[in-house]
Amino acid sequence: MELLFVCGLILFSLLVSMSLAYLLSNKHKSSYTNLPPGKMGLPYIGESFEFINTGRKGHPEKFIYDRITKYSSQLFKPSILTQPTIVFCGPAANKFLFSNENKLVKVRGPAAAKKIFPILMKDEHSMMGRKMIFNFLKPEALMRYASVMDSISQKHFESCWEGKQEVVVSPLIKGFAFCVACKVFLSIEDQQHIAKLADPFSALISGLFTIPIDFPGTTFSRAIKASKEIRKGLVAIIKQRKIDLEENKASPTQDILSHILLATDENKEHLSELHIAEYILLLLIAGHDTTSSVMTFVVKYLAELPHIYNEVFQEQMEITKSKKPGELLNWDDIQKMKYSWNVACEVMRLTPPFQGAFREAISDFTFSGFSIPKGWKVG
């Protein structure tokens, strides 16, 4: 009886909090008389389940196309991941949206990201970290990693692909991409160490685009737990790297971790260990999920389109023939991969690796006669 009472109390509290959030959302909505067409769906949850499910089934665009057909409008309003949202459709609407970046709208992560990345969601810290990362990821800074990535690639194919009658591409490429990320970002090559970092990542990524209910057993709750576990491991790595830099056991330019540790802002101040851990965590997620998604779909389309495969193969073989036995690829070789790069770009156009990036209206504005309220997500 006591257990049932506690469970009932927890569920009642959850329903009350969801209802309050829904009422607050409707209160904000009621002050605008000319919102785009659409429905907000269930209280608090909105249309999140359909949004998430279409993405998991491999056709996230269905969520958009179904509503374009229904409302015959450039804009429509759902509630996604607990956030009232305006979805912009078509070239003209998206041109307006992108041309007003930091004027009318600003990039914001989903509601779940605020708890998973609490530091990165604060504007005062984000700009400095972004500048550091962008400086490191410039082509001239990445040139020296072509041979490193080639070496990892060769080892990966020898151990996981060669001699196999059948391979399951997606998990293999995720593992490969994460190995590359760990090497480039953290100089970690030990497979056991990489596995220890990789294990919690699937739970974390699953929780980024889900309904942010921090309740034991939910996907979101597991994601928060996983993020804390990974962050703890990254802070330990950061502390050790500081010692290695002081003792000249590590190079200031060997990876992005050293780069961020030594960089300072305009006041000559360094980022804290927790700030650095969150930036590294964000980069590792990209290496674990979005990058691997692109590579997986490249393999898929090459398998389905043999004439495209043959063109890519010929280009790669020409580069291979120009190399000495055992010689690794360099930046000049990468520059010769023009057809291969066009294929990768077309794959990203056909199957974007990221389900959707949301912005937030930083002021009230109108588009195509419709009101877009301040604070609503737009995308």
CB 82 within 8 A of CB 21: yes
Span 226-241, average pLDDT: 92
pLDDT given at position 219: 87
Instruction: Provide CB contacts within 8 A for 301, sequence distance 6+.
Output: 308, 343, 347, 350
Phi-psi region of 268 (alpha: psi -120 to 50; beta: other; left: phi over 0): left
pLDDT category, 339, cuts 50, 70, 90? very high
pLDDT given at position 65: 84
Amino acid letter, residue 33: T
Q: Which CATH number fits domain 123-290: 3.30.2130.10, 3.50.50.100, 3.40.30.10, 1.10.630.10?
A: 1.10.630.10
pLDDT given at position 372: 92
Is the predicted pLDDT of residue 304 greater than 50, yes or no?
yes
Neighbours of 352 (CB within 10 A): 16
Span 273-289, average pLDDT: 83
pLDDT given at position 329: 94
Q: Quote helix, strand, coil % in the chain, to nearest 5.
A: 60, 5, 30
Q: Which of the 8 DSSP states describes residue 365?
A: E
| CA pair distance 163, 262, nearest whole angstrom | 45
- One-letter-per-residue 3-state SS of 133-148: HHHHCCHHHHHHHHHH
Q: DSSP 3-state assignment of 130?
A: helix
| CA pair distance 213, 290, nearest whole angstrom | 24
Is the predicted pLDDT of residue 69 greater than 90, yes or no?
no
Is the predicted pLDDT of residue 374 greater than 70, yes or no?
yes
260: Cα within 13 Å, side-chain hemisphere: 27
Is the predicted pLDDT of residue 379 greater than 70, yes or no?
yes
Angle of CA points 153, 157, 160, to nearest 5°: 130
Alpha-carbon distances, residue 10 vs 14, 18, 45, 71 (angstroms):
6, 12, 18, 39
pLDDT category, 133, cuts 50, 70, 90? low
| CA pair distance 165, 163, nearest whole angstrom | 7
Span 49-73, average pLDDT: 80
Domains of the chain, by residue range, sit at 22-108+358-378, 123-290
pLDDT category, 198, cuts 50, 70, 90? confident
pLDDT category, 131, cuts 50, 70, 90? low
* Of the candidate ranges 12-16, 27-31, 117-121, 162-166, the one whose mean pLDDT is the lowest: 12-16
Highest mean pLDDT range out of 117-126, 167-176, 213-222? 167-176
Highest mean pLDDT range out of 7-21, 75-89, 256-270? 75-89
| Percent of all residues in the chain with a pLDDT value above 70, rounded to a whole number | 84
Q: DSSP 3-state assignment of 120?
A: coil
Identify the H or E element spanning 360.
strand 359-361
pLDDT given at position 5: 38
Which of 352, 265, 296, 336 lies closest to 61 in space, CA to CA?
352
pLDDT category, 2, cuts 50, 70, 90? very low
Is the predicted pLDDT of residue 127 greater than 70, yes or no?
no
Angle of CA points 30, 32, 33, to nearest 5°: 100
Is the predicted pLDDT of residue 19 greater than 50, yes or no?
no
* DSSP secondary structure of 17-55: HHHHHHHHHHHHHHT-S-PPS----BTTTBTHHHHHHHH
CB 246 within 8 A of CB 263: no
CB 319 within 8 A of CB 273: no
Q: What is the pTM of this model?
A: 0.75
Q: Average per-residue pLDDT in the chain?
A: 82
Is the predicted pLDDT of residue 153 greater than 60, yes or no?
yes
Instruction: Provide CB contacts within 8 A for 183, sequence distance 6+.
Output: 148, 152, 189, 255
Is the predicted pLDDT of residue 357 greater than 70, yes or no?
no
Is the predicted pLDDT of residue 135 greater than 70, yes or no?
no
pLDDT given at position 203: 84
| CA pair distance 204, 220, nearest whole angstrom | 8
Instruction: Provide CB contacts within 8 A for 273, sequence distance 6+.
Output: 235, 238, 239
In this predicted model, what pLDDT tens digit does every residue of 26-51 receive, in sequence order? 444 445 678 999 888 877 678 877 78
Structure tokens at 299: 């393999």
Neighbours of 1 (CB within 10 A): 5
Span 93-108, average pLDDT: 87
pLDDT given at position 355: 59
CB 241 within 8 A of CB 257: yes
Instruction: Provide CB contacts within 8 A for 16, sequence distance 6+.
Output: none
